[in-house]
Amino acid sequence: MNKSVNLSINGTRHAVTLDDPRVTLLDLLRERLDLTGTKKGCDRGQCGACTIILNGRRVNSCLTLAVSCGGAEILTIEGLAQGDVLHPVQAAFIEHDAFQCGFCTPGQIMSAVGLIMEGQAGDDEERIREGMSGNLCRCGAYAGITQAVRQAQARMNERERTGEAA
Amino acid sequence: MNQFEYELAPNVENAVASGRSNGAVFLAGGTNLIDLMKGNLVRPTRLVDINRLPGLDRIEFLPDGGVRIGALVRNSDLAHDPKFARDFPAVAEALLSGASPQLRNAATVAGNVMQRTRCPYFYDAASACNKREPGAGCEARGGHSRLQAILGWSAHCIATHPSDFSVPLVAFDAVVEIDGPQGRRDVALEDFYLLPGNTPERETILAPGELIVAIRLPAQAALFAGHARYLKIRDRTSYAFAVVSAAAGLRIEGDRIVEARLALGGVALKPWRARAAEACLMGRRAGREEFAEASMLALQEARPSGENEFKIELARRLVVRAFERTAIDNTARLSPLPASIVNLTEEIQR
């Protein structure tokens, strides 16, 4: 049973033929499209390493069937930087040392991008921690992650206010 | 994961027709279903994808003050709808206290109501479970039973229902709109769930092919808007299922309670409506003694199903706290940590 699915991934159109309906969006990205920035941790929706932005909202790609995503717009960690210019969240993660081994980092960053887009966190560390609770970090870099998200959000809001390009 | 046929349903009629076939299961957000399939705990032969069904993703505020929530509305969209959160704050708070932001972005409201128990023995294919295999036995009994039921359980199953959302829905008389081979019907959410009894494999009143199309909250539910809370005790501050939870609502006139609502989560295989507790508060003052009396009535029939006797006292104390917080006017105020127990003084000042 072949199903073809049209997807836009990081601004590039892909026509994908699926020979098996069980393929998750995560496996499609990693195994068939070579976009291995998105990580497979638990593969059961618990760790958040596979977080991507699907149609403008952060989701766990491991629990999403690719066959169900016809017409979707997808943003992964590979699509975040503009050339050599890092996204504000990426830059803030480096500045605040918000990782150690780095395995959870793409998921953390995509989740933070989603959180900032949702606009619910305010400038409140408690809300940021709550908003990032779907992403586990086994190295325990949470303090740096919280600071990075807070700073990236402040910078992005400031840029929006002053009309500077992101 | 087993192999299955995939089908994208274009409309409700087709979905219902396909859903009737043996081994067919509806796919919405997939956050629970795909997880269960990866564990080989659920093995459907056909997935009927209902994500594109037209018109089921809308929140309709009804002229009488009630609300009709389409089955495919995502958990986060409902919780963050400003009018919904204002009119039904306990429901919004419950939604935001469940799962993670990523899961809430994908999961639908009907899927939330339909999610399966997180009993560790149900989730372990190597354990005997009467839900997965009727007659196999229940390894949860005599096993790790800390989080299991204290109300409505049977010798065959001591699991609890994991939904936070369903708890305030039951407290405020939500109705499930169902479409199916025999046409449409409305069922109160409280009657939608089945207690385990001798047939723990039967979890809801849904017949094959029947599909939830909407969930309605009546106008009466919005009358509690200024005094409605959901509180949840959990092992972590965020992203954990309830040990016990409570949805409480009060209508207060002068210094008297004219109506009270209470439902408990994490205590049974369905949200537990505590009508005796509600009745005892009628006409009384909103005070700690009164709430303590209500809490005794709410847990009157509770008994431990294993090493979980502590949940009975914990639930009583939670009922008192939930009503105390509910008695404070909480219009347009949402805790930074939804459903968490924070310092009461801080909460009043926020």
User: What is the model's pLDDT at position B340?
Assistant: 84
Q: Note the CATH architecture for domain A3-79.
A: Roll (3.10)
A111 in contact with B at a CB cutoff of 8 Å? yes
Under the phi-then-psi rule, with left for phi > 0, alpha for psi from -120 to 50, and beta for the rest, what region is A26?
Answer: alpha
User: What is the model's pLDDT at position B331?
Assistant: 64
Give the closest-approach CA distance of A116 to chain B in angstroms.
Answer: 12
Nearest-Å Rg of the Cα atoms of chain B is 20
Q: What is the DSSP letter of B154?
A: B
Residue range A88-162, CATH number: 1.10.150.120
Q: Enumerate residues 71 to 110 of chain A having a beta carbon within 8 A of any beta carbon in chain B.
A: none
User: What is the model's pLDDT at position B337?
Assistant: 79
Count Cβ neighbours within 10 Å for each residue of A61-72 and write b for 16 or more, e otherwise. Answer: bbbbbbbbbbeb
Q: What is the DSSP letter of A32?
A: I
Answer whether B120's CB lies under 8 Å from B260's CB.
no
Could you read off the pLDDT of B109-155 as tens digits, one per residue?
Answer: 999 999 999 999 999 999 999 999 999 999 999 999 999 999 999 99
| Beta strand spans in chain B (E) | 5-8, 24-27, 46-49, 59-61, 67-70, 175-179, 185-188, 211-217, 228-234, 242-253, 256-265, 272-273
CATH of the domain at B34: 3.30.43.10
Partner-chain contact B80 A120, CB within 8 Å? yes
Nearest to B35 among A63, A115, A133 (CB): A63
Q: Residue B345 pLDDT > 80, yes or no? A: no
Is residue B324 one of the residues assigned to a domain?
yes
Is residue B143 one of the residues assigned to a domain?
no
Q: Which residue of A1, A53, A61, A63 is the best one to mutate when testing the B interface, meaning the one whose CB has the most B CBs within 10 A? A: A63
Give the closest-approach CA distance of A32 to chain B in angstroms.
Answer: 19
Q: What is the DSSP letter of B117?
A: P
Mean per-residue pLDDT for B25-37?
Answer: 98
Could you read off the pLDDT of B244-302 as tens digits, one per residue?
Answer: 999 999 999 999 999 999 999 999 999 999 999 999 999 999 999 999 999 999 999 99
Is residue B115 one of the residues assigned to a domain?
no
Partner-chain contact B101 A58, CB within 8 Å? yes
User: What is the model's pLDDT at position B349?
Assistant: 52
The residues that bridge with A15 in the sheet, in sequence order, are A6
Partner-chain contact A134 B31, CB within 8 Å? no
DSSP letters for B269-330: SS-EE-HHHHHHHTTS---HHHHHHHHHHHTTT---SSS-THHHHHHHHHHHHHHHHHHS--
H or E, element range at A53: strand A51-54
Nearest to B6 among A3, A118, A127 (CB): A3
Order of strands, edge to edge, in the sheet holding A57-60? A12-18, A3-9, A73-75, A51-54, A57-60
Could you read off the pLDDT of B62-107 as tens digits, one per residue?
Answer: 999 999 999 999 999 999 999 999 999 999 999 999 999 999 999 9
* Residue B350 confidence class, pLDDT cut points 50, 70, 90: very low
Please give the residue range of the domain that contains residue B230: 221-349
Q: Residue B348 pLDDT > 60, yes or no? A: no
Instruction: Give pLDDT < 70 ranges for chain A.
Output: 1, 164-166
Partner-chain contact A129 B239, CB within 8 Å? no
Q: Residue B344 pLDDT > 70, yes or no? A: no
Could you read off the pLDDT of B309-340 as tens digits, one per residue?
Answer: 999 999 999 999 999 999 987 765 667 778 88
Is B260 strand, coil or helix? Answer: strand
Q: How many structural domains compose chain B?
A: 2
Answer whether B19's CB lies under 8 Å from B208's CB.
yes
Is residue B127 one of the residues assigned to a domain?
no
Structure tokens at B251: 């209508």
User: What is the model's pLDDT at position B24?
Assistant: 98
Partner-chain contact B239 A120, CB within 8 Å? no
